[in-house]
Amino acid sequence: MEILLAVTVGLLYASGMYMILRRSLVKLIIGLILLGNGANLLIFILGRISKGKPPIIPETEKFFIDAYADPVPQALILTAIVISFGLQSFAIVLIKRAYKVVGTDDLDEMNTTDEEI
């Protein structure tokens, strides 16, 4: 399972990077979304995957006696998902507006900011 997830993370990062390097605005956003998902999945794997070991201390004990599933990465991913959701919705509105105002979705044509006045 871990190998499958690791390969998926690698694929997500690679395809995200590839998409960011394209000239189209829409592909740029898709690339950023893929990269974000790759990062979330990476945190998930790095929290060590274990099956059927809830992080609950038995009533008779005072501390953990066995290995347990780490709940922190899941909290981190949840936060990161919410944040990236907000950023992505902003991004989509931004590219729609930029497309309307500039009249192109080709990044190579969006260079008035670098021109001299």
Partner 1 sequence: MTQHLILLPIVNQLLVAVLLMFFYGKVKTQRVLSVAGSVLNLIIAGLVLQRVASHGFLTLQAGNWQAPFGITFIADHFAALMVLLTAISGLAVSFFSTKTIHVKRVKFGFFPIFHFLLSGLNGAFLTGDIFNLYVWFEVMIISSFVLLTLGARKQQLEGAVKYFTLNLLASVIFLTAIGVLYGITGTLNMADLALKVPQVENRGLVHVTAILFFIGFGIKSAVFPLYFWLPASYHTPPAAVSAIFGGLLTKVGVYALVRMFTLIFTDDLFLQRMILGVAVMTIFSGALGALVKNDMRKIFSYLIICHIGFMIGGLGMMTETALVGAVFYLIHDIVVKTNLFMVAGMVKKVTGKQDTRVMGGLYSTHPLIALLAAVPLFSLVGFPPLSGFWPKLELFRAALTDGFYTTFAFLLFGSFITLFVVAKMWKRVFWGEIITPLKQGFTLFDDETPQRKLMFLLPIVFLACVSLYIGLGANHVWQLSQTIAGELMDPQPYIEAVFETLNSAEYEN
Instruction: List contacts with partner 1 (CB under 8 A).
Output: 20, 25, 28, 32, 35-36, 38-40, 42-43, 45-47, 70, 72-73, 76, 79-80, 83, 86-87, 90-91, 94-95, 97-98, 101-102, 107, 110-114, 116-117
Give 69 or 91: the residue with its C-beta nearer to partner 1: 91
Helices (H), the chain: 2-20, 25-46, 72-102
Task: Find the shortest distance in angstroms from Cβ 89 to partner 1.
Answer: 10
Q: Cβ of 62: how many Cβ atoms within 10 Å?
A: 7
Which of 8, 95, 94 lies closest to 49 in space, CA to CA?
8
Kindly state the smallest distance separating residue 83's Cβ from partner 1, in Å.
Answer: 5
Cα 43 from Cα 81, distance rounded (Å)? 12
Choose between 20 and 69: whose C-beta lies nearer to partner 1.
Answer: 20
